[in-house]
Structure 1
């Protein structure tokens, strides 16, 4: 087994040699760059280098990296927008691998997890719904699953399902008991994406272009799922979602830190070479402040990430730590990208430099996996419970 640093070094070599040139040529547009064909080609290179699915379970061909070990490897992959896809650590597959490794039955591991770890399939996680259904508030879940002989019939609609087009299977969250806005009552189901009754209605046109399979609207019309494809226990879906969400938020931070780091490096390189007002741009005070603030935001992001990963690796739920790290990082990394664009001036909004596409792709991170405002609301409620019971403020 290679050391963690050896994996980081090998990832950097793979990404900078083989992945970045394609990423830059096609301005981070994965479909224009080749889509599934490109994924297969890049993952073949990663497989040869011993880098494919480094977080996957060892018994199914992965390297079994824990959260702390993943961080520098995923960041190195994220230096290119296509790097996570090359290593098979992209969302939503990365989070689904983590979930299935913890929850799937032995049969489900062979049927669904093994081909996912091998890169033979992609997957999607179908929870988000159009209003008034589940989104930032999963308890508003409207999609229903009704028990029938030998299985369940699922009916409902999902929206913003990343990677759904071309996925080998879906993990579907559906209500099996209770009503919206009541605790519990959700169940996870595994279904081949081509199952009868699943319809891909459309791709939502979004500002980001690096996610293979797009962001899709799906409908489920009496989709039959056998009892064998219930993931975990019935009515425990919300609990299992927590198994996935905390780690998945942190792996998003890892990948986007790599992208922001690249934007920063490009901007600083430009600033040291650009002459204006009789000196280098990097010698001007306002430019130096932006460069220094980028360094601070990147360092703080990594520090909060390490703390959250340590809690997760210790077996803790780490809800507070992951909310803090996700919220701060989503905003801090966007600041890094935005300052990088500003430092590069006109070239910063052009395709001549990669900072514009990085800023474009990073912006949605403040929304998905919980908008910053929802995390702040949750953190404030937690603080009120913890500190609001004292007799009087001191």
Structure 2
């Protein structure tokens, strides 16, 4: 029923991507600047090589400069790119820009597309997504407090945003603010395009976090009577939540796709070290505990991969994949952390050092349980949908 096999054309693209990752991207990791990423003199030639191989911005449709080959192919590709923290940026698929380009593509006016979308796709400028607030549960954004009030031909934004990734390197933000507090909960907010540097748009501080790989930091932002033109609205008034779901659904599965790459690389490091390292006169690989690590990791990685590709397949078929995306979001986060932890354990003190990428993967991986919705919320979503489906199938029996 399900076919996750790439076409001949896609296999060639995946092989090219793997070659670039192994020959160019992994060696470039030593030049990563924490909070910034690769310096442009190293990044830009790598990006040009990707463009020359027709692998740039694969998440976008072909007419706008992407590949348009579907979500299953994206899953297979992101499995390659996710094995390095700089892979997505080198291939033009880095968050939060990917989600923002999808919103602009679907809701932007021609003027907005020309000003914002095309330069972001070409990686000439970067962007951020300002929804989360410190005093409001990130898992329930219906309580957002930032407001946008219409005054003449302007919108005036007031409020504070929290943990806004990439704001330090961005040229503009997509901001979610309440435009009608009296509307239904999911119709209160709208989205706006706000240029960095607009009076009243204040970068307060870059919040220090675990991990070194997030480009542009995670910022606290203040909007203090920030005035923007009325044409800065994205879509229609009250469509903020609708556009947010358009962005967050694909974003969640993209994370799960990239986690597969981190799992694969951590697993390979574990295998390599287990075969080389000897203790008590024999390789680690001959001890049952290590063999259990290997077997458990292989099984869980296979399950994660199939769950991710199944969700992607449903998306390609135009089917509702919300349950499957929620499943892989919390399950994949657990397996990601478990496999990295086992790989560190096999390496011992070496795994705890910075001589391998494992300790950095470990610090970055902890956030997988939180961003784009905490595990607990996704479990709740899955359970509710399963119960609802069961009730609908068995309503005669349950009466």
Q: Which TM bucket (shorter chain)?
A: over 0.9
Deviation track 1:284-314 (CA, whole Å, cap 9, x = no partner) reads 1110110111111211111111111112222
Residue 53 of structure 2, aligned match among 49, 58, 61: 49
2:25 aligns with: 19
Alignment of 1:49-128 (within 5 A): 49-128=53-132
**Aligned counterparts of 2:54 and 2:8: Cα–Cα separation in 1:** 9
Deviation at 1:106, TM superposition (A): 2.5
**Aligned counterparts of 2:12 and 2:110: Cα–Cα separation in 1:** 32
Return 207-216 or 307-316, whichever deviates more: 307-316
2:3 aligns with: none
Return 382-391 or 103-112, whichever deviates more: 382-391
Length-normalised TM-score, structure 1: 0.93
Distance 1:66 1:203, change over 3 A: same
Contact 1:340 1:348 in 2 (8 A): yes
Contact 1:96 1:125 in 2 (8 A): yes
Alignment of 1:187-226 (within 5 A): 187-226=190-229
1:136 aligns with: 139
* SS of residue paired to 1:165: helix
**Aligned counterparts of 2:137 and 2:291: Cα–Cα separation in 1:** 44
2:11 aligns with: 5
2:361 aligns with: 358
Return 157-166 or 192-201, whichever deviates more: 192-201
Distance 1:116 1:32, change over 3 A: closer
Aligned residues: 391
Deviation at 1:181, TM superposition (A): 9.0
Please list every run of 5 or more consecutive structure 1 residues that lacks an aligned counterpart in the other structure. none
2:293 aligns with: 290
Alignment of 1:298-313 (within 5 A): 298-313=301-316
Length-normalised TM-score, structure 2: 0.92
**Aligned counterparts of 1:296 and 1:170: Cα–Cα separation in 2:** 41
**Aligned counterparts of 1:294 and 1:115: Cα–Cα separation in 2:** 41
Distance 1:21 1:96, change over 3 A: same
Deviation at 1:273, TM superposition (A): 1.0
Alignment of 1:232-271 (within 5 A): 232-271=235-274
